[in-house]
Amino acid sequence: MTECEICGAEIKGKVQYIAIGVSKLKVCKACARHGTVVVEDKKAKAKIGGKQVLIAEAKRKLYEQMDHEIEEGMEGVEGYGRMLKEAREKAGLKQAELAKRINEKQSLLRKIENEEIIPTDEVRRKIERVLKPFI
């Protein structure tokens, strides 16, 4: 048995939900006119459920975006190796010669060009100082 929260009478038939200010009341049909009729509990819950789905969806999209950014970062590294090789060849320098100019090991340059490692900022700066006109 459900009682009307305004008049206290037993609600026969469909329970009405109304909002008066911030309160939500279960009322009989006769009292429903005192406030704004709001959606039934069942629907309200479904709405919340829908919201959770939306949050989950938003999170998934965020993660996808993050993955994408990581992939883009990897592409940047790949691009650097290729770019270095091209610039070095344009400069007419062998790996060993460039390595000597920047005071690094040839094996390091080879690894950078093969995109096995990411050069440190210091190494990048040294490379760019030598190859700047060719990059």
Q: Of residues 20-59, which lie at the interface with Zn ion (CB under 5 A)?
A: 28, 31
Q: How far is the CB of 16 from Zn ion (least distance, A)?
A: 9
Say how far residue 11 (Cα) sits from the centre of its chain. Answer: 49
Which residues does 133 contact at the CB level (< 8 Å), separation at least 6?
A: 91
Binding of residue 7 to Zn ion (CB under 5 A): yes
φ, ψ for residue 16, nearest 5 deg: -100, 140
Q: What DSSP state is assigned to residue 2? A: -
Q: How far is the CB of 69 from Zn ion (least distance, A)?
A: 57
* Candidates 3-11, 55-63, 73-81, 120-128; binding stretch for Zn ion (CB under 5 A): 3-11
Which residues does 21 contact at the CB level (< 8 Å), separation at least 6?
A: none
Q: How far is the CB of 5 from Zn ion (least distance, A)?
A: 8
Q: How far is the CB of 1 from Zn ion (least distance, A)?
A: 14
Cβ closest to Zn ion, residue 7 vs residue 46:
7
Residue 95's SS3 state is helix
- What does the binding site for Zn ion look like in residue numbers (CB under 5 A)? 4, 6-7, 28, 31
